[in-house]
Amino acid sequence: MNQLAFEEENLQVQKEVLQNIKDLRIKVKKNEIKCFLSNEADSLNCYIEIHAGAGGTESQDWADMLRRMYLKWSDKKSFKSSLISEHRGEEAGIKSATIKIDGEYVFGWLKKESGIHRLVRISPFDSGARRHTSFASVWIYPVVDENINIEILEKDLRIDTYRSSGAGGQHVNTTDSAVRITHIPSKIVVQCQNERSQHKNKETCMNMLKARLYDYEIKKREEESQNVESSKSEIGWGHQIRSYVLQPYRLVKDNRTNFESTSPDKVLDGDIDEFLEQSLYKLNEN
């Protein structure tokens, strides 16, 4: 068609052919990505756990920025997100938070986001306007569905209740509705405080624990758990998977794929698809 349109100097048909080729390339890319999302857990929903590193308010604000980035990304995909637990910083930001995202192949998309994220910027909390480096950790776990059987023994659990520190009305603030569960053999700790009912918080905690144990078994099966656990030992220098530099230049660089973006504002507003795609390509190369 393009050849005929060229010979007849029909610019309208040439334009249509060019647009069709562009549309076809987009479809091919989507199908290519779906081929990479073929592991048993890739189609599941996921939990995102974010922890601020050392550095007080700076790192806590950075952890909050990361949470916002993933929530923005979720909104762009028309996925559903919900807050499971949150521990806010004294001045700004969050010490830690867990969010759940429901959507098509969410875990497959986000699974390589686990690791340390580094921010370099002029601090808004420094009266001397000095440059600061902050760290925060992100850990991604699949939400286990009913078809996956995870056996949890009651004797392996320590269940603590405590008073919720977040918003939620008078009932939440005056009862020990928040729940923390420790799985003693694996030392995995999960907590939930977003529901008014202690029973509902406990149910959510158990679902999160199943997700964490399932993810742990997957990592062990892939012989990756030792590397993952060692990278959790310190939220700081030498462990970061991605750097977000706002000063003295503007660049976001993934240290595993070497993919870069010179638009950090767009990335922090949730435009992270290219980083996620490059991680999937790299994963399948290996």
Whether residue 258 sits in one domain with residue 140? yes
For the domain that residue 214 is a member of, what is the CATH number? 3.30.160.20
Please list, in sequence order, all residues whose beta carbon lies within 8 angstroms of the beta carbon of residue 52, skipping any fewer than 6 positions away. Answer: 59, 60, 62, 63, 89, 93, 94, 95, 96, 136, 235
Classify residue 75: in a domain, yes or no.
yes
Q: Mind listing the pLDDT tens digit for each residue in 164-222?
A: 665 444 444 456 778 888 988 888 888 888 777 788 888 888 888 888 888 877 777 66
Q: What is the pLDDT confidence band of residue 50, given thresholds at 50, 70 and 90?
A: very high
Residue 148's pLDDT is 66
Percentage of the chain surpassing pLDDT 70?
86
Whether residue 251 sits in one domain with residue 125? yes
Whether residue 279 sits in one domain with residue 140? yes
Q: Mind listing the pLDDT tens digit for each residue in 240-251?
A: 899 999 989 999
pLDDT of 93 higher than 60: yes
In contact, 91 and 57? CB cutoff 8 Å: yes
Average pLDDT over residues 130-139: 92
Domain count for the chain, please give it. 3
Domain containing residue 165: 154-220
Classify residue 53: in a domain, yes or no.
yes
Residue 126's pLDDT is 79
Which is higher by pLDDT, 78 or 31? Answer: 78
Residue 73's pLDDT is 97
Whether residue 248 sits in one domain with residue 170? no
Classify residue 231: in a domain, yes or no.
no
Residue 236's pLDDT is 57
Residue 270's pLDDT is 97
Residue 168's pLDDT is 46
Whether residue 171 sits in one domain with residue 120? no
Q: What is the pLDDT confidence band of residue 117, given thresholds at 50, 70 and 90?
A: very high
Whether residue 93 sits in one domain with residue 52? yes
